[in-house]
Structure 1
Amino acid sequence: MWMSSPTSGAARAEALFVKRRYFPERRVVLVSLELEAVSDYALKPLRLFSRHGIRMLSCIVQSHPNRGSVHASLFLDLTDSSIDPAELLVELRAMPHVRRAELLDLPFTHGEARLVVFTLREVHSLFSMLRELGAGGEAIMYHMGLRAGEALAESLSRCFESDRRALEYLLLYHESLGHGRFELERYIDRAYCRVVVRGLVECLGVGSERPNSQLFRGLLAGFLSKIWGEKVRVVESKCIARGDPHCEFEATVA
């Protein structure tokens, strides 16, 4: 079985800082939604939260006038509400226009329950600066994704009954963050998967003779390596940066 390297002293110190900001008396959950793109898509969920005394701590919504769906992720504080997380999920899934709803009931820290947003232009400026560093910058992006994927896998693997469900949630969550439109095209448990991404944020507006993704490729490798328990190699076989219609990633056990 493949194991990651020990956590560095700096990483341990950072984790301790975030942990100290965790408020154990709060009941915080993460809800991710896919909804039909109707004009009042937000009203019924908000009324539901208000009726049950649920506070919204942080929220991000992705919509586009030419697409038929809306994606959102919300951190909700259920401390002053009498509703159970499982009951909340049942009510959300029963709502009109809700295509998909998932809820994570984990001991979130303050740092985890705060969504931080960058515009596409700001993100592109950051990616451009790292690419200017050459192979070193690409390695930084890949390992940023790798570490993030490992951390997400540790949390999500406890919330879903199968590795596939955990991966599907990861893609739903990142779509709600505006990173692209994700589709799990093929999945063979602990052996192979293929993910198609349209409009992958790190490859938009980039011209390259070779596949461009480092961040998402690393994220997928780190995530699958953790949940499959084996080192996973991820190859970007298609990329919009070199003229392909979409980005495509194939993951295999190394």
Structure 2
Amino acid sequence: MVYRMNYRPETVFRGTPPGGGAMLRERYFPERKVVLISFELEDESDYALEPVKLFSKYGVKMLSCIVQSHPDRGAIHASLFLDLTDSSIDKFDLLRELKSLRHVKNIELLDLPFTHGEARLVVFTLEEMHDLFKVLRELGGGGLAIMYHMGFRAGEAIAARLSGYFENGKKALEYLLLYYESLGHGRFKLKSYIDGVYCRIVVRELVECIDVNSDKPNSQIFRGMLAGFLSKLWGREVKVVEMKCIAKGDPCCEFEAKV
């Protein structure tokens, strides 16, 4: 189940700028104090009440929100863009108060100069995503290479943004997986991590492999994204291999990354 809401969407884009997509790279309201919060909550019916009450109490505006929940998971994942400009609380106290709420299991806050392309969350259904993937797969090896390099470039860009924000590479990777899970890309678990050398990640319900039948590992986009992210983060060329894949009948997708 996916929920999406935007606060005053008419204020996000005021017309189309010359060059069309150029605005995607411009600062997202540079005069505003916008932060991104990603967190994991216990799957209880009232999980949203306390955070919303907290935002109302301090005048925190919710610009965009995506929430992922499923009846058999026992956890809820969410990513929210919040505007603290006119609020009566700073980001440190807000994070502290959110951590103290009874249903919050894990939470991270990013205070970065977001661009329009990063701060506007867009939702596709799983079927729509699979239609896009199918077109590229039908191109054969060239299409698969495009998917891999799309992921690789995206991973490099994300790592460049996050590398100086977290205290170490493991924390940055854990945040990335938490964020991607909140967006519905899959259920991620970092099983092993040796900084700059090796990591192993298990993914359940990886979006590009669900309902795909294949005699070989199927992931290109996530595998590429992970390779790009870790190569940038570790400063060395990283090779990522999908050891298991739900597309070929395995219970999960499993990735190993090595230098």
Task: Return the TM-score normalized by structure 1.
Answer: 0.92
Cα deviation digits, residues 9-29 of structure 1 (max 9, x gap): xxxx89954343532101100
**2:118 alignment partner, SS class:** coil
Contact 1:21 1:111 in 2 (8 A): no
| CA displacement at 1:139 relative to structure 2 | 0.9
| CA displacement at 1:129 relative to structure 2 | 1.1
Contact 2:24 2:117 in 1 (8 A): yes
User: Which residue of the partner structure matches residue 220 of structure 1?
Assistant: 226
User: Which residue of the partner structure matches residue 132 of structure 2?
Assistant: 126
* Counterpart amino acid of residue 139 in structure 2: L
User: Which residue of the partner structure matches residue 180 of structure 2?
Assistant: 174
User: Which residue of the partner structure matches residue 8 of structure 1?
Assistant: none
Contact 2:67 2:77 in 1 (8 A): yes
Structure 2 residue 138 is the aligned partner of structure 1 residue 113: no
Gaps of 5+ in 1: 1-12
Counterpart CA distance in 2 for 1:71 and 1:20 is 28
User: Which residue of the partner structure matches residue 50 of structure 2?
Assistant: 44
* Counterpart amino acid of residue 119 in structure 2: A
User: Which residue of the partner structure matches residue 252 of structure 1?
Assistant: 258
User: Which residue of the partner structure matches residue 75 of structure 1?
Assistant: 81
CA RMSD of the aligned region, Å?
Answer: 1.3
Cα deviation digits, residues 151-203 of structure 1 (max 9, x gap): 11111112210100000000000000101100000001100000000010100
Contact 2:151 2:223 in 1 (8 A): yes
User: Which residue of the partner structure matches residue 108 of structure 2?
Assistant: 102
Counterpart CA distance in 2 for 1:32 and 1:212 is 28
**2:132 alignment partner, SS class:** helix
* Counterpart amino acid of residue 62 in structure 2: M
**2:201 alignment partner, SS class:** strand
Counterpart CA distance in 1 for 2:20 and 2:187 is 32
Aligned residues: 241
User: Which residue of the partner structure matches residue 143 of structure 2?
Assistant: 137
- Choose which of 199, 202, 222 in structure 1 pairs with 2:208: 202
Gaps of 5+ in 2: 1-18
- Choose which of 23, 27, 33 in structure 1 pairs with 2:33: 27
**1:203 alignment partner, SS class:** coil
User: Which residue of the partner structure matches residue 153 of structure 2?
Assistant: 147
- Choose which of 17, 41, 57 in structure 1 pairs with 2:63: 57
Contact 2:27 2:114 in 1 (8 A): no
Percent pairwise identity: 69
* Counterpart amino acid of residue 127 in structure 1: F
Structure 2 residue 75 is the aligned partner of structure 1 residue 91: no
Flag as ranges the 4+ runs of structure 1 deviating above 6 A: none
Task: Return the TM-score normalized by structure 2.
Answer: 0.90
* Counterpart amino acid of residue 48 in structure 1: L
* Counterpart amino acid of residue 201 in structure 1: V
| Aligned CA distance change for structure 1 residues 16 and 125 (closer, same or farther; 3 Å) | closer
Contact 2:34 2:84 in 1 (8 A): yes
Counterpart CA distance in 2 for 1:92 and 1:23 is 24
